Every structure is written in structure tokens, then in C-alpha cells.
Structure 1
Amino acid sequence: MTLSRPAKVLLRVFAGLVMAAIYLPLLLVILNSFNATTSGAFPISDFTTRWWVAAWHNEGVRAALWTSIQVATIATVIALVLGTMIAFALSRYAFFGKNVVNLLVVLPIALPGIVTGVALNNTFKTVLEPLGIGLGLFSVIVGHATFCVVMVFNNVQARLGRMNRGLEEAAMDMGANLPRTFIDVTFPGFRSAFIGGGLLAFALSFDEIVVTTFTAPPGTETLPIWIFNNMSRPNQAPVVNVIAAVLIIVSMIPVYLSQRLTGDDKR
């Protein structure tokens, strides 16, 4: 389909407005993290890095950062294992209820986070807590893993659907056993999707706040929870901007790397 010149100009203007609406507020947050005033006045007349230094020396921020890294890392590892196994099961085998299982796997990413959070909160408090498993770091990791699995599953399943099974059969015909075939032929075929899904899962977990609110016990804070708890404190506003800027940067890097991996694979 060929568009007229006015239509192309209109589409570019519309795309520019959408991008501005999404990214200008984020840019403002990053700029305010260097604003010397605590009021966040704009335009910025004086730049400083003291809020970044203050954020680094803030014990609450450092504890929240460590908690976020722990949760995101472990949830990503769980997602890589479970997501890949489920993707292989649904891509390579036919069984009764296959479509239902596929729906149940991807459903957590479509459900509102508050629904998942409330469901997990009730499960831990009414079912698991009497067994000695209450709310804690474990419950937060489980909550994050429920939607991180979907990121890995979608990436790996899509790649497995495009792989040439004949290469695996040829490797086994030439004497390679199943583990050697997987290491030398199968895994390299979906490796970029595997890593890309893990990067997206880490970014999603690192930014999560809704599910964390319902699965974390009092006193346990991730970086998003720390921001939420300190937004109403005027003296913490500059530091909040710094942490928000960190979250923006940390989120962009995995997404960018995942996109590059996918792009390289397509080429």
C-alpha cells in the first residue's frame, strides 16, 4: 500500500506526539535527578550530582536495591528453567488439553497484577502459613516468577516453532546421543531467544510493584516499593527522582539487548 505525502506527514506527526507523550516525562525525571533544588523547578538552573551520592549512601535504597536484584535474578532463573521446559513440551509433543495448558501458561501476564497479588496473598496466609511458609522473600520470588515464566515461554516457543528438526535428526543419525544433540544443535538454535526472554523477565521483575505489594511482608522493600513509600516525603523527592532514573536505565538495558538479540537472529 502506497501512502500519499500528506498521509505520511500525518503519521509521522502522530508517531512523534505519541513518543513525546511516553518519553518526555521519563526524560524529565532523569533531568530532575540532577536538579540542585529540592522543589523540582523547571527549567533547571543549577545541576548537581549530590542526590546521586545521597542515594548511594542511603541504607534503605541500598537494601531495596539488593532485594530487587535478588528477587529478579532468582525469578529469572526459575522462569528460564520452567519456561523452556514448558515451551519444549508444548512445541514437541501432542497431548490432550495442550491448548488449555498453553492458555494457562500465558494467562498470568494478561491478568491484572492486583488479582495475582491478592490470590497469592490469600494462598500464603490461609494455606501455606499454617505449614510454616509465610510471606517473605520466597513469596515475592514466587509472585514474580508467575509472570516471568511467560516472557521466556513465549520467546522460546516461537523460536522452536521455526527451528529445523532435520538438523537434530541428522546429528543423531551421525551418532550423537540426546544430550550431545541438545548441546551442539538444539540449544544454539534457540539460545538467543532463551537469553532474550531471560533479559525481559529480569527487567519485568525488577520494575514490578503491584504483585510485590501483596506478597512482601512489612519491612521488605524492593526499589519500586521504596519509591512508592517515599513519594509523599518532600525531603526525599530528589532521591526518589534518582531511583526512578535508575529504574528507567536498568529497564532499558535488558530490553535493548533483547531486541538486538532478536534482530541479529532475524538477519
Structure 2
Amino acid sequence: MHLSRPARVALRVGAVLGFAVIYVPLLLVVVNSLNPDRSSGWPPPGLTFDWWRDAWHSAGARDALWTSLKAGVGATAIALVLGTLVAFAVSRYRFFGREAISFAVVLPIALPGIVTGVALNTAFRTVLEPIGIGLGLFTVIVGHATFCVVVVFNNVAARLRRFAGSYEEAAMDLGADTFRTFRDITFPLMRSALAAGGLLAFALSFDEIVVTTFTAGAGVQTLPIWIFSNMARPQQAPVVNVVAVVLVLLSVIPVYVAQRLSSDTAAGSRV
């Protein structure tokens, strides 16, 4: 499609403005994390790493980071198992209700987080509390897994659609049993999709705050909740900026790696 010069200029200006709206605020957070002024005055009078040292020695921030890591790893593990199994069932077999199951798996990512949070909170209090299991890290992991399953399912299902089952059929025709076929054929072909889905699931869990608020209870505080609860404290503002930068980095890196793994180039190199 050929565009006139004014149209190309307008598109470029619109793209620059769009990216500026997204990334300039993030850049300001990075600058404020190095700003020696506790009130985040602008322009900054200099640069300092004192707030990074204070953040490192903040017991609350470290505990919240550790909690987020445990919740992310737990939710990712559950999502990898369930998402992969459902993806194989839906992609490789034909049965009654297949489309309904596919829709039910994808639906949680489309629901408003507050609706999911309220529903999970009610379910946990109704089902788990009577048997002595209160809101805590376990309920946070289960809550995060409900929507992390979606990204694993989508990645695995997309990869299964890219290669036919003839590879596995050929291996079985040559004498390989089911487990040998999975180890030598299926898993190598699915490896990058599983890694990409797992990384995206971890990033999605790591920065989740709405569902966490309803499922964590009083004794569990993840890093996003720690940031939110300390934003209103002026003395904590510089440390909050530092923790926010760390949260951005820990979210961006898995997404970037997952994007590279799930790209067509990466997929083609493994088939």
C-alpha cells in the first residue's frame, strides 16, 4: 500500500506520541530513583544511588520481592501443567464440548480482575476456611494460576497447530513408544513454546495486584502491593521509585525473552 508523504509523516508523529505516552513516565520513574531530592523535584539536582542502597536494606521490600517470586513460580508451575494438558487435549482430539472447554480456559484473562478477585475470595472463604485453610500464599498462587493458564494454553496450542502429528506418527512407526516419542519428538518441538508461555505467565503473576488484593489476606504482601501501600508515604517515595524500577525490569525481561522464543524465527530453527 502506497501512502502519501503527509500520511507517512502523520503516522510517524502518531507513533512517536504513542510511545512517548507509554515510556516517558517509565523513564521518569528511573530518573526519580536516582534523584537525591526526596520530594522528586524537577529537574533533579544530581544523581545518587543512596535510594537503591536503602531499598536493598528495606526488609519490607525484600520480603515482598521474595513473596512475589514464590507466587510467580508456583502459579507458573501450575499453569504449565494445566495449560499444556488442555492444549494437547483440545488440539489433538475431537470430542463433545471441545470448543466450550477452550472458551472456558481463555475466559479468565478477559474478565475484569476485580470480578475474578471477588469470585475467588468468596470461593476460598466458603470452601477452604471451613477446613482450616485461610487466605495466604497458597490462595494467591491458585488465584494467579487461573489467568496464567491462559498464556501457556495459547502458546502451546499455537505451536501444536504449526506442526502436524506426522512427526510423532513416524517415530511410533519406527518402534518408539509413547514416552520415547514425547521425549525425542514432541518435547523438543514444544520446548520454546513452553518456555515462552512460562515466562509470560511468570511476568503476568509477578505484577498482578487486583486479584492478589482479594486472595492474599492480611499476612501476605507481594511487591506490587508493597509499592501501592507505600506510595502515600512521602518518606518512602524514593525507595518506592527504586522498587518500581526493579519491578519493571523483572517484568520486561521475561516478556522480551518470551517474545524472542515465540517468534517465527525461533520456531523455525527448532523444527
The two structures share one fold, judged by TM-score above 0.5? yes
SS in 2 for 1:35: coil
1:166-245 mapped onto 2 (5 Å cutoff): 166-245=166-245
Counterpart residue number, 2:141: 141
Mapped to 1, the partners of 2:83 and 2:130 lie a distance apart of 30
1:178-232 C-alpha deviation (Å, 9 max, x unpaired): 1111111111112111100100000010000000000011131000000011010
- Deviation string for 1:11-39 (max 9, x for gaps)? 11101100000000011001100100111
- Preserved CA contact (<8 Å) 2:136 2:219: no
TM-score with structure 2 setting the length: 0.97
1:99-125 superposed Cα distances (whole Å, 9 cap, x missing partner)? 111110000000011001000111111
Note the residue ranges of structure 1 that are not aligned, 5 or more in a row.
none
Q: Extract unaligned runs of 5+ from structure 2.
A: none
Report the CA distance between 1:164 and its aligned residue: 2.2
| Contact 2:35-2:48 within 8 A present in 1 as well | yes
**Contact 2:152-2:194 at 8 Å conserved across structures:** yes
User: Aligned pairs, how many?
Assistant: 267
* CA deviation string 1:127-179 (max 9, x = no partner): 22112121111000000000100010000001101112111111111111111
Structure 1 equivalent of residue 55 of structure 2: 55
Distance in 2, Cα, partners of 1:219 & 1:242: 24
Pairing 1:1-267 to 2, within 5 Å after superposition: 1-263=1-263, 264-266=265-267
Identical aligned residues as a percent: 65
In structure 1, how many angstroms separate the alpha carbons of the residues matched to 2:267 and 2:183? 22
Distance 2:171 2:72 in 1: 36
Q: Is residue 192–residue 267 contact of structure 2 (8 Å, CA) maintained in 1?
A: no
Q: Secondary structure at the match of 1:2?
A: coil
Structure-1-length-normalised TM-score: 0.98
Deviating 4+ runs (over 4 angstroms): none
